[in-house]
Amino acid sequence: MLNFIYLIIFILVLLIISFLVFLSVFHLKIYFNNRKYQALKEKWQPVLFGYLNNEISLNEATASFNKNYKYTWKFIRTYLDNLDGKDFEKLKNLLQASGFIQYYLKKLRTGSNKDKLKAALILGKVRHKKALPYLEEMLKSDSSLKIKTAGQAISQIGETSLVYEIIKAFLVRTEITYEGISQILILYGQKICPKLLLIIEDWLDGEVDIRKEFQTSPYETIALFVELLGHNKYKGALPVLERLLKEVDNDELIIQIFKALSRIKEPVDLDLTPFINHDTGLSGVRLYVIYIKTGNQAIPNS
């Protein structure tokens, strides 16, 4: 019996020692990786700034970046988020010349599921249009994570021909919330607005059955589109928003329409008197403020 107890104690001690060794190796690996990255960052930062300021040629900048793209990604992701215009295109050219983009495009085509997800994320950030056929294929997956990752990447690239497919995939084959969809589609900017207006008009004309196509409430889906139009302050939406107010009687949708109008801040060619006391959940005071913001200065007595 005593020998059995000693054996148990020995096994427990061995397990504890093994765990501590594993933990030490893990932390040492992180430490040395961070040291390596910091050294590369100190080397790359002046090169990148010099290249962006036209002090260093593309060939010279490319020669400074090594082929360990894991560190390259960690270094450039912040710049991809913050640069725009010519600076963004210059950084993209540098990544192309260094082999970074080709490396992740290959991962997107032939890598493991984990590799494909990471590659989709990265190629979306660099707005690489040659990734679109593979992202569109990923969008057809039954994996919620793949669909959301592909949809986000396509939105960042700005390919508006796939807007309908993205929305349908999100609503039919994922559990993503309307708020989550909005946060992804916002990445399009104003580019998405004409497509959203087309879907709304087709719905109003009876050419699209949103409940059947998207398997969701038409009013909630249209309210999402209206929210995006308002977020982008898209003035071209005014005629469609006016039409919605004339033809649709749904409280939540009316609220979203007025919120959108308050952001667009343009007058509508419509008598809004019936909405002052409409039972939408908006207080009279708030609706009054929205009324003013949309440019309708003549407020009737209520």
Expressed as residue numbers, the domain containing 241 is 188-302
Residue 167 in any domain: the answer is no
Q: Is the pLDDT of residue 282 over 80?
A: no
Structure-block tokens of residue 237: 């939406």
Residue 87 in any domain: the answer is no
Residue 139 in any domain: the answer is no
- pLDDT for 118-169, tens place per residue? 999 999 999 999 999 999 999 999 999 999 999 999 999 999 999 999 999 9
What value, to the nearest 5°, has the Cα angle with vertex 252 and ends 211 and 217? 10
Q: Which of 26-30, 185-189, 246-250 has the lowest mean pLDDT?
A: 26-30
Contact 258, 227 (CB under 8 A): no
- pLDDT for 169-179, tens place per residue? 999 999 999 99
Find the radius of gyration of the CA atoms of the chain. Answer: 27
pTM to 2 decimals? 0.82
Residue 222 in any domain: the answer is yes
Residue 294 in any domain: the answer is yes
Place of tokens 């005629």: 239
Q: Taking residues 36-50, report their average pLDDT.
A: 87
For the chain, the domain total comes to 1
Q: Is the pLDDT of residue 289 over 60?
A: no
Q: Is the pLDDT of residue 301 over 60?
A: no
Residue 158 in any domain: the answer is no
Residue 223 in any domain: the answer is yes
Distance CA 114, CA 136 (A): 17
Residue 28 in any domain: the answer is no
- Using the CB atoms, write b or e for 57-68: b if 16+ within 10 Å: eeeebbebbeee
Contact 180, 152 (CB under 8 A): no
- In this structure, the number of other CB atoms found within 10 A of the CB of residue 162 comes to 19
Q: Is the pLDDT of residue 82 over 80?
A: yes
